[in-house]
Structure 1
Amino acid sequence: MMPKSLSFLRALTWIGMAALVVALGAPAAGVTSAAGACGAATCLYLPTVSTGCKAVGGSYNQGVVFQRDPDNPPKQASQHPGKNLDLRGYEQRTVGFSTSLIDYGSGGDPNAPQFPTLFTTPRAIVSRYFQIYSWDDFNNQPGSLLSENNGSYPITALGLSTTAGETIRTPLANYDLGAGVAAVVLYADADSVTVHYTRDDSSAYGYTIFIDNLCTDPNLLAKYTALDTGARYVFAPGSGYDLPTLTANQPVGAASGSEIVVAITDAGPFVDPRTCNPGAGFWNSLGSLSTNVACLGRNPGGGILSLP
């Protein structure tokens, strides 16, 4: 058995090593002896040191929105599948679809939000493709994946390549909510923001963009948390109360790693974020689409499920 004095000295030695590692800025995942790997008795695991999210958007204002969802009592936004994307979840797809943006032909909205403007220098570099889970209202839980078989699109979320720490902005759209407001925030937590382009507190109206895997601006998160209470959760259809508002292209946070995930609904259903219909898609702001993926046309005569 090791003498208590020696054990104490060894403990002090490890504490000193840990402090040195942190002071030098080395990764704090684990400190090992030269003889072994982490998992042995000589390993010391240190907690991850978080510097927190940086403020990138300046100050955030608030403005009136109107209660539209029929739930009585109103669902907490964190528990609402139309406001919190993480509640549903999503899964990467690797086969059975076109790894491209898609021109669905006629139709679309020339005023629609523009995904390239999520970034200070607009771009479109798609890293991964995802399908979102449906929602089982009866059991109040995620259902099966949305799929072509139930009338959804083959892709309903995109991974967009980022550099850790770069600013993520409110996507530009040609909508004016008055008083300099371009959009409102329906939901925010530490790593996601839900941006809405009407003054309705519901994703059943207009466009809603979900941005996941970012480091939310702490000022925006504080503003949202302070307003996510009170009248919002008293059932009174059509009543007004404040939520955070955003100006055109105002930053909402910073990329936390090499990818953010985005999705969009149009008056309720999730639609294909790859849509690049000329003049009426979600990528028009790039003009000639300088991107790592092409804007392909759908099959001649095909519907939304008949893709190249």
Structure 2
Amino acid sequence: MGLWPPAVADAASPTDAETVVLPGHRLFLPVVTRHTPGACPQQSQATFAAVPVQGPPSSRQAAQHPDLNLALRGYVPTSALLTLVDVDGPTDSDPPQLADLFSPPRLPPFTAAYQVYDWDWQCAPDGCRGAPIAFPPVTLLELAADPGEPLTVPDRATSIWTGHLKAMVLYAESRRITLAYTREDTAAVGYLVHLEGICVDVNLLALYRQLDSAGRTHLPALRGDEVLGTAADARFQVAIRDTGSFMDPRSRKDWWQGY
């Protein structure tokens, strides 16, 4: 593991209103956004660590992988309670806590709920977008934020590497990031958090792009209290997964313990 010095970020990614054609895919950026995101910071003094990836790298380019890049799936609004919910089933003693997105941790107002589209891996060599996931009823949650406020990594007790590193960046672009709570280059193992509509720190984004281009033998990693970016405006979205399955991000006993 080493600290990587600040680097100049690449050109900004397309806005949420655009559709970008990638080889073999049409990238569906969500059309449900009801507001224009604010400008993202173009400079940063932050430095970030990198850790070795455990096992082989992803067999697909991350930008074209629907388990890593949520824009490939997309999502649609749904009517649901915009409050914490109490769900049945076992409770993990150490899941990522979404209140830790904020410093100090807090329970923000929930402003909208969405259903992420499923992915059909059988319909074509690279699969294709399916219907919205019906269960659980909410798979992406919009949280209120103060425009420009720092956002930190949802924390848990378990580290993935020395130095209290808790999560590894599986995918990043200027306004979205995907975090894994293992060192494996897959969404199929452990917890995964998708953040949409944020401003990813430009140095973190530059490091991710550098390591992705170098073959993904190493990827950026973050501490539980580390700032990964800022709120682009007054709201952003979060999805959380467990061993590949999308979970309900409103679940009190899992992701909002103590609230």
Interval containing the TM-score (normalised by the shorter chain): 0.7 to 0.9
**CA 1:264 to 1:68, structure 2 compared with 1: closer, same or farther past 3 Å?**
farther
Contact 1:88/1:142, CA 8 A, preserved across alignment: yes
Compute the displacement of 1:103 (Å).
Answer: 1.4
Q: Note the residue ranges of structure 1 that are not aligned, 5 or more in a row.
A: 1-47, 233-240, 290-308
- Separation in structure 1 between the aligned mates of residue 221 and residue 175 of structure 2, nearest angstrom: 18
* Aligned-partner Cα distance in 2 for 1:168–1:64: 25
Aligned residue in 1 for 2:247: 271
Structure 2: which amino acid aligns with 1:224? Y
User: Aligned ranges for residues 100-249 of structure 1 at < 5 Å?
Assistant: 100-124=83-107, 125-137=109-121, 138-139=123-124, 140-147=127-134, 152-180=135-163, 181-232=165-216, 241-249=217-225
CA 1:57 to 1:66, structure 2 compared with 1: closer, same or farther past 3 Å? farther
Counterpart among 221, 228, 233 of residue 257 in structure 1? 233
Distance 1:55 1:166 in 2: 15
The answer to whether residue 256 in structure 2 is matched with residue 283 in structure 1 is yes
Q: Aligned equivalents of 1:156 and 1:56: distance in 2?
A: 32
Q: CA deviation at 1:119?
A: 0.6
In the superposition, relative to structure 1, how do residues 56 and 128 fare at CA in structure 2: closer, same or farther (>3 Å)? farther
**1:92 Cα deviation (Å)?**
1.0
The RMSD of aligned alpha carbons is 2.0
Specify the alignment match of 1:66 in structure 2.
54
Alignment gaps of 5+ in structure 2: 1-35
Q: Deviations over 1:185-237 (max 9, x none)?
A: 000001001111011111100000000000110000000000002433xxxxx
Q: CA deviation at 1:261?
A: 0.3
User: What is the distance in 1 between the residues matched to 2:119 and 2:227?
Assistant: 30
Bigger radius of gyration among the two: 1
Shift of 1:66: 2.3
Q: Is the 8 A contact 1:57 1:250 kept in 2?
A: no
3-state SS in 2 of match to 1:265: strand
Do 1:62 and 1:244's aligned partners in 2 also have CA atoms closer than 8 Å?
yes
Q: Counting helix residues as a fraction of each chain, which structure ranks higher?
A: 1
Q: Say which SS state the counterpart of residue 201 (structure 1) adopts.
A: coil
Give 1:245 shift: 0.8
* TM superposition shift of 1:105: 3.3
State the TM-score, normalizing by the size of structure 2: 0.79
Which residue in the other structure is 1:82 paired with?
Answer: 67
My pick for the range that moved more, 166-175 or 203-212, is: 166-175
- Larger proportion of strand: 2
CA distance in 1, matches of 2:42, 2:225: 17
Mapped contact 1:210–1:263 kept (Cα < 8 A): yes
Shift of 1:173: 1.1
SS in 2 for 1:66: coil
- Aligned-partner Cα distance in 1 for 2:45–2:174: 15
Distance in 2 (CA, whole Å) between partners of 1:231 and 1:213 is 27
Following the alignment from structure 1 to structure 2, what is the Cα–Cα distance between the partners of residues 176 and 129?
A: 30
Q: Shift of residue 176 of structure 1?
A: 1.1
Amino acid at match of 1:247: R
- Give 3-state SS (helix, strand or coil) of 2:255's partner: coil
TM-superposition CA deviations, 1:273-308 (whole Å, max 9, x none): 11112xxx1001xx2x2xxxxxxxxxxxxxxxxxxx
